[in-house]
Structure 1
Amino acid sequence: MDDSPTSLSQLAFDVFKDLPIKRRGAPVKILILWPNPALKNRGIEAFQSYKSSKNLEHVDISSVRNTDSRILSSAEVAVFLAPVTSQLPDIKTVTDILYPKPVVIFNPKWGFGEENEFGDLSGFVGSFEVIYSFMGLEVRGILSKRKGVVFKCVRDGVVSGEKWTVLVEEEGGELKVVSRFKARPSIVEVENVLYNLMAINSPITKSAKFFKDLVSNVTGRK
């Protein structure tokens, strides 16, 4: 949740310093693409203490069009950190140069509900497999509110039909699974899950159910 340069560069260092990628005969070269020059410089500082930093190439996305394509194509994997929607054409350019090598988009600055609005690039964005997602949300009702999370995690990088899980926060902060989806659920689908859960647990709903059961017992009809 912290978008500061220090936080992003430290997060990148923690996640990507020891990628489990191996190749016989030579170290794997990783291309890290930062959203702007200031973040690139902060990232270089963060990775300086890493013993294998010489195998990392740092580039800011805005300079991709002026970067020698040989620098881009020499990488084994590219990682885009916190790109914005205006940088999608540059992401596609690098992806085309690197193909079929892997490309990672980490913490993109757009919601998945926006991806259908990217015009010609919607299909390109949709071609990425979601490996890890942890998205928090909150739904407010008349008398209550529920916090939830949409979660997916592919373990060991092997995609094998992992489902999207919707969890809600119980009293005490514990997360409880309430629904699973084969495909990434829309915001409307997630909201419906939480609204239905709120309705079931609502004092109004419980009172109505109690009254219905009471009347049923009196009339003898169930």
Structure 2
Amino acid sequence: MDQPTVAAAFLPSPPRIGEPAPAFEVETTQGTLRLDDYAGSWLVFFSHPADFTPVCTTEFLAFANLSPAFKENGCELLALSTDSVYAHIAWVRAIEATFGARITFPIVADASGEVARAYGMLMPRESATEAVRAVFVIDDRQVVRAVLYYPMTTGRSVEEILRLVRALRTTDRHGVATPAGWLPGDKVIVSPPRTVEMAEERVKAGDPDCRDWYFHLKSPG
């Protein structure tokens, strides 16, 4: 079996689901920002390998297109790569000039890789200096709620990331789970009963959305 490189061995562990998001203070295309600036709001914090690359450009166009929908769901966007702030500014301007799309969310200039390492965005077997396509969904208490990783070659589905934020917020509001492919307006999953008596009562109630004692759907709200 291949042994990990020395650089890989000393990378910090990325934050896991349910853990506090690592604090940061960073230079961005919209000035200095801190994680605390997003307190009380949800945040999708995502990394991309490099500016002026085609796959990353398609992703930024998708995020720009759905940015209003994220805001409607109380969620901000924050991007990161290890490029300089000058490269970020030039790229944002080029995207607007070429594609007519404005990038309204900030982009972190993490030239030292400090934040990328803290969040586990660097994968040494992919690149020693460029971040992979990582996504951290951070809630309004600054707790990590979901983590996604994509390789450099594969663009992400921004619609799926938006769906994930909506599903997590629905879970928080109503204390329910969401089934595969759930979209707003679809039925949600009621928590399974925790005693035999409760299971029997649920089945006897005759609700057509209760397919079995452990599988009970309902309309949200």
Give the TM-score normalised by structure 1: 0.29
| Structure with the bigger percentage of helix | 1
Instruction: Tell me: higher relative CO, structure 1 or 2? Use CA pairs within 8 A at least 6 residues apart.
Output: 2
Q: Choose 1 or 2 for highest CA Rg.
A: 1
